[in-house]
Structure 1
Amino acid sequence: MNILGLRIGHDASAALIVDGKIIADVAEERFSRIKNDGSFPLRSVQYCLEAGGITAKELDGIATPSRSFVEHLFIFFGFPAVFETIRFSTVAPPTKKQEMPVKKPSLFQKLFETPPQEESLEEESQEVRIFVSSQQERFREPYKASWVPELPFYQKPFALAAHCKLYLVEHHIAHAASACFTSGLNNGKALCVTMDGIGEGISNAVWRFENNRLQCLATYDGKTSLGWFYAASTEAIGWRQSRDEWKMMGLAPFGKPHPGALQGFYPQFKDGDCIEPHNFGDFGRWNDHGANHYHCGDAKELAPIAQALGHENFAAEVQRVSEKQAMNFILPWLEREQCRNLFCAGGFFLNVKFNQKIWYTGKLDRHWVYPNSGDPGLSVGAGLMAFYHEHPEQPNASLEDLYKGPEFSDAEIEQILDDRLISYTVHDNIAEKAAELLEKNYVLGWFQGRMEAGPRALGNRSILMSPLHEENRDIINKKIKYRETFRPFCPSMLHEKAGEYLVNPRDALYMVISFDAQPGAKQRIPAVIHVDETARPHMVKRETNPVYYDLIQAFGDRTGEYVILNTSFNVKGEPIVCTPREAIKCFYDTGMDALILGNYVIEKAALPK
C-alpha cells in the first residue's frame, strides 16, 4: 500500500509510506533553500514519488495532518469525481443533530457536495475520544478568484487513481502516530505525550498506545501551551519564534534561574492537569518569502524582564519553568497509567535538556522521542496513521534511520566537479582519509549518501572537526556557522563507546537528548562538552551508517578518542545542504578547510601540505 503524507503550511514536507515503511521523507526547505518554507511541497512530492519508483496514479492514499480539507491539495492533485475521505479526529463525527466543528468557513464548502449518507466508523468510545468517520466526496472545479491558486499550463496536477483515498488526520493524532508507529512496541503499553505551540486548537495531548492501537486520554487547548511560552520568551530576547528556540536552550546553562521572575506568563500544572491556564492573547504572523515570522503579545512584556535579568539568567529561568511544568504534567500521567514507557512527539520535545531531565528521574524503562518531532514530521505521522488504520494487524517496526532524502552517485559528483573545473583527489578508503585530515585539525565538509530527514545532521550532511581542542568550538561558530559563540556542538561517537563519555546513557541515535558527561570527559573532548558538563550525543552504529562509523573508528584509532565534533552542513539561517552544488557553495563561502563529497576530496589551495 502506497501512502503519500503531506504537511501543507509552515515547515511543509512530504513522506512516502510503502506497506508501513518510510521510503522517503523530506522538507520543502531543502529544495527551495528557504528555511521553514511554507509553500506547497511540490518538489518534496516529486522526490518522494521518484524515490519510491512510482507515479501518483499508483498512490492508494494521500494523508494530511489536518481534520479539515486543505485547499491546495485539490489544486495540485487531480482527484477523481467521487472519492472516499476518512477523517481522524478527537472531535466526535457529525450526526443529524451535530455538525463537525470547523475553525472557519472553508473554500471547500463551495468546492464539494457531500451526499446525505455518512458511515460512522467510531473506533473508540467517547471516553477516549478518537473517532474515524468515512464519507464520499464529490469534486467540483474550483471557482475563479484571485485568492484561489491556479496552476499554469505547464504544471499539471498529479493524476490520481479512482481508488485513491484522502485521509484527514488531526494535527496531534499525526504527532502521536509518528512516535508510536515508529517505536517497535507491539506488545505492552506506553504513554504517549504530544506537546507543541498549537495545532487545530490543541497544544498538549495524552495518549495510550497499547497492542498497536492509539487511544486519546486527554487534550488541552492553547491556554496550556508551554510551547507558546518558550516561543514568546524566544521572541522577547530578539530571536525568531519556531526557529531560534535552540538558542534559548543553549544559552540557559550560562545563567542562573530566578524563580518567580516570570510568574503570570505561563500555564501551571499540578498532578497531571493544568491548574492555572494562561491567556497568551492573539498571535500575529508575517509571511517573509514563504516562511512565517510569528509574534506573541507577551513578548513585549517579557522583553524588559529579559533585559533586567540578563539574557543568560532569563534563558535559565525559562528553561527551569518549562522543565518543572512539563514534569508536573507528564509524571503523574505515567503514574495513573502505571506505565514506565514514554513516547513523545511535537516541537516541545526537541528540548534535549528536558528529555534528559525526565530520563534521569529513573521512572522510565523506555523513552522514545520521534526525532523529526516538529511539524515537518507530521507527514510521516499522517501517513503511518492511515496505513495502520487500513492494516491494524501489521506490527510496527522500530525506526531504522532517518536517511530518507536525495542521494548522488560518485559519477554525478565527478561530473559536477569537472564541469566547474574544480581540482580533486579520489580515495578508495575515504573514512581513513577523513580521519587523517581531522587529526590535523582540519574543518571538513562531509557529504555522503542520502540526506537526513529532520533538523539534525546525522553524518551524511555534516561539518566535522576534532573534539580534542576546546577552541574548535569557537572556530566553527565564528568561521563556519557565523553564529553565537555559546552554541554547543554534538559529539558523534561509536555506540558501544557511549558509556565511556556519558552518565547513564540510553540509545541516542538521533541527537534528541543530552546526558551528563563522565568525570574527565571535558578534559578529553572539550569541544563537544557544554558549559554545564552535558553533551547531546549522536551514537553511531555500523549497520546504520558504515562509512561514518568507520570514520569515527579510524579517528579513534589515531587519537584514542572515538568521538568527532559534528554539526549540520549549513550556515546560520539556511537549510542543511541537499545537493553537491550547495555543498560546494557553502564550502567556498566559509572557512572550511576541505570538502569530501562521496570519495572525492577538495582542499583549499592555501592549506599547508
Structure 2
Amino acid sequence: MSHNGAACLLKDGRVAVAIEKERLTKVKNDGGNDALAIAYCLNAAGIGWDEIALVVQNANFGSFAYGNHWYRGARTIPEGVPVETISHHLAHACSAFYLSPFDTAAVLTVDGCGNAFEDCMDLDGAILPERPEGEMAALWFEKDSYYAASGTGIQSVFKDFSPLGRFQCDYPMHPDTTRHSIGGVYAGASRYVLGSTSDLGKLMGLAPYGQPGGFRHRIFDIRDGRLFVDYGWMQDFRARMHSAADFKARFQYFADVAHMVQGEVERALVELARARHALHPSPNLCFAGGVALNAVANTRILQETPFEQMFVPPAADDSGLALGCAYHGWHGILTGEPARHDGSPFLGRSYDGDTMQIERALQVAGDDLIITRPADPIEAMAELLAEGRTVAWHRGGAEFGPRALGHRSILADPRRAELRDYINAQVKFREDFRPFAPAVLAEDAATYFELDRDSPYMLFVVPVREAWRSRIGAVVHVDGTARVQTVRRETDETFHALLTAFKARSGIGMLLNTSLNRRGQPIVETPVEAAELFRDTGLHALVVGPYLVRKQP
C-alpha cells in the first residue's frame, strides 16, 4: 500500500494473478488503499474471502496502527482473515529472491525510504552500524539492507538507517524524505531537472546528453561501508526547472546535472555492492528497491563487483512489494511447500477470450477503420512493421512492473530512425530526448549488442556494436547504448515468433518495443483502453485478440 500500490494472489505458492493499482484507477503511481487491487485479484481467480488463508501487507510509513479496516479508505478484509505486516526492505528482498533463478544468493535492497526503525521486524542477526534509541527510532528509516538467502529463508546481514531531513534544508534539489539515501537524491534531482518524480527513468535517459566535465561535484561519501550524502554541493544548484519552455531553453544545463547525478549514483552503488559483498560473499546477487530500475547502474554493478550473476525483478519498485509480501507469507508464515516463480512477468488477467470486451473495444476505436481477422496475425503484423507502421499489441495478461515486454506494447521497425521522433511526438506525446528499447531474439542478441547474458525485463543497458549503430538508429541512444529485452522461445513463444517473422523480412531479429501508453498515463489494462489510445494517437494499427485494426490511409 505504498506508492505504486499493488496486490498479488498466490495459490499453492504460485502466482495466480497480480495487478498494479495504477492500471485500475488510471492514476500514475497510485497507491494507498488496496480495495480495488484486491477485488481485481479475487475476481480474476473467481474466489471469495472464504478461500483466503492469509493476508500480508506493507506500506512505506506506519504499521497500520488504526487497524486493518481503514488505510486511506475503507478496506475489504473481513473479520477472521489473518493479517500480517512485514517491513519494507524485507518485502523488497522477498520479491527479488523468490522470483530469481538462484537457490542461494545475496540480496541488496536500495531505495529512497523504507520503514521506520521501530517498525522493522527483520533486525535480528543483522549488523546495525547505528541504532537509534527512544523517540528517535520513529524518525530513522531504512535506506539500504543486505540479506543472505537460501532455499526458503532470508536472513538479515546488514541494515542501515537514515534520519529524516526534508525540512532541514531549503535547497531545491533536497531529497523528500531520508537525508542519506541514493533513491532520495535521485528523486530530488528528478524534481529539480524535470519538475516531477513521476518517472525517474527520464533522468537516466537525459544523462547521456550531459557533458562529462559539466559538473564535478561529489555527492556521495562511502565511509566504513556506509553511504552518506555530502550536502555541501547542493548550494550550487538553485535554478530548478520551472516549465517545459524553461527546460528547452536550458537543456544543456539540465542534461549536465542529470549526467553528474547519474554518474554519482552509479559510483555509489558499485562501492556499496562491493562493501556488502565483503560481509557475505556470494556469486549471485538479487537487487530490489526503486533504485534497482536504474539499468545503467545495474550493468556496472555486474561488471565492476565480485558478484558473478545478478537478478533484478521486473517490478523492482514498490509495486513488487505485493509479490514479496505474498511469498513471505507462503514461505515464512504458512511454511508451505517450497515454490519458486517461473520468471513470467505477465501476471494480469487475460482478456483474449472476453469477446464482449474486444467487440466493445472495436466500437470505441473509431468508425473509419479497416477491421480484419487475419488467418495468421503474426505474419500480418510482421508485414505491417516491415512497411514502417507502428503497431499496438494487446494480448494475454499484462506485465507486472513498469516495462512493457510484449503484452501491452507499441512495436516498430528499429531500422527506421525517424520512427523514434514520430512515436515520441505523435504517439507517446513525451520529451524528444527519451530513447526506446529494442526487443531482440535472445539467440541473436550478441550480434547487435555487447551482451553476454539474458536481459528479459529491460533492466540492463549495454553498448550497441559499432557496426550496427547506424542500422538500428531507432533504438540506439545518443551514447551508443540500448536498454535491451531478450526474448526466448521457451518463455514467450508468440513474441519470439513475431521477431522471427520480422527477421525473415528485414534480416534483423529485433523490434522497437515501448509501453502501450502516453505521457503521464499508466500502461493500458483493458482492450477498450488500448482502443482508445489507438484512436487518439498516431498509431497505425492495433492487434487485440484475433483482430487487426488499421486506420484508413
| Pairing 1:205–2:161 present | no
- Whether contact under 8 Å (1:72, 1:149) holds in the other structure is no
Aligned counterpart, 1:416: 360
Write the letter of the residue equivalent to 1:529: V
1:423 deviates by 4.7
CA spacing shift, 1:22–1:308, aligned 2, 3 Å: closer
1:38 maps to a residue whose letter is G
Cα distance in 1 for residues equivalent to 2:531 and 2:204: 31
Give the TM-score of the pair, scaled to structure 1.
Answer: 0.77
**Equivalent residue for 1:272?**
225
Matches of 1:375 and 1:298 in 2, distance apart? 31
Output one character per residue of 1:98-121: Cα deviation in whole Å (capped at 9) or x when no partner.
xxxxxxxxxxxxxxxxxxxxxxxx
**2:495 matched to which residue of 1?**
548
Deviations 1:43-89 (A, max 9, x none): 2111211222321111110010257226473148xxxxxxxxxxxxx
Partner of 1:89: none
Question: TM-score, with normalisation over the residues of structure 2?
Answer: 0.84
Q: Does 2:78 match 1:159?
A: yes
Residue 331 of structure 1: CA displacement?
1.2
SS of the counterpart of 2:113? Answer: strand
SS in 2 for 1:215: strand
Alpha-carbon distance in structure 1 between the residues aligned to 2:236 and 2:152: 41
Distance 2:58 2:550 in 1: 45
- Report the 3-state secondary structure (helix = DSSP H, G, I; strand = E; otherwise coil) of the residue aligned with 1:232: helix
1:184 matched to 2:124? The reply is: no
Q: Distance in 1 between matches of 2:267 and 2:2?
A: 31
How much has 1:215 moved relative to structure 2? 1.2
Native 8 Å contact 1:503 1:516 kept in 2: yes
| Partner AA of 2:478 in structure 1 | V
For 2:236 and 2:33, locate their aligned partners in 1 and report how far apart those are by CA, in whole Å. 30
Q: Which residue of 1 aligns with 2:255?
A: 312
CA distance in 1, matches of 2:251, 2:502: 46
Query: Do the aligned partners of residues 413 and 552 (structure 1) sit closer, same or farther apart at CA in structure 2, a change above 3 Å counting?
Result: farther
CA contact (8 A) 1:269 1:326 kept: no
Partner of 1:43: 36
Q: Which amino acid aligns with 2:212?
A: P
Map 1:147-296 to 2 at 5 A.
149=73, 157-159=76-78, 162=80, 164-186=81-103, 189-200=104-115, 201-220=141-160, 221=162, 222-241=178-197, 243-258=198-213, 261-263=216-218, 266-270=219-223, 272-274=225-227, 276-278=228-230
Residue number among 441, 449, 457 corresponding to 2:396 in the alignment? 449
> What is the deviation of 1:566?
0.5
Determine the C-alpha separation between the residues in 2 that align with 1:449 and 1:522: 33
Whether 1:524 aligns to 2:501 is no
Do the aligned partners of 1:232 and 1:298 also contact (CA within 8 Å) in 2?
no
For 2:226, give the aligned amino acid: D
Q: Percent identity?
A: 31
Unaligned residue ranges in structure 1 (runs of 5+): 1-7, 77-147, 152-156, 281-296
1:367 to 293, 301, 310: 310
> Does residue 1:16 correspond to 2:9, yes or no?
yes
User: What is residue 97 of structure 1 aligned with on the other side?
Assistant: none
Q: Choose between structure 1 and 2: higher strand proportion.
A: 1
Bigger radius of gyration among the two: 1
Cα deviation for residue 370 of structure 1 reads 1.5
Aligned residues: 498
Q: Is the 8 A contact 1:207 1:218 kept in 2?
A: yes
1:455-604 aligned within 5 A = 455-604=402-551
Instruction: Say whether the 8 Å CA contact 2:9–2:15 is kept in structure 1.
Output: yes
CA contact (8 A) 2:441 2:510 kept: yes
Spell out, residue by residue over 1:425-475, the C-alpha distance to the aligned partner (whole angstroms, 9 max, x if none).
001211110000001000111111111111010101111110011111111
How many Å separate the matches in 1 of 2:438 and 2:533?
A: 22
Q: Tell me whether 411-420 or 435-444 shows the greater mean CA deviation.
A: 411-420
Question: Structure 1's 403 and 535: CA in aligned 2 closer, same or farther, altered over 3 A?
Answer: same
Name the SS for the 1:491 alignment partner: strand
Q: Indicate if the aligned counterparts of 1:204 and 1:224 stay in contact, CA closer than 8 A.
A: no
Q: Deviations over 1:130-185 (max 9, x none)?
A: xxxxxxxxxxxxxxxxxx8568xxxxx4535x4x3211110111001101111132
CA distance in 1, matches of 2:333, 2:550: 52
Equivalent residue for 1:68?
63
What are the residue-to-residue correspondences of 1:400-415 with 2, within 5 Å? 400-410=343-353, 411-415=355-359
Distance, in Å, in 1 between the alignment partners of 2:180 and 2:28 is: 28
CA distance in 2, matches of 1:30, 1:393: 30
Q: 1:501 to 1:362 in 2, by over 3 A?
A: farther
**Structure 2 stretches of 5 or more lacking a match?**
116-140, 163-177, 242-246
Instruction: Give, in whole Å, the separation in 1 of the partners of 2:358 and 2:290.
Output: 39
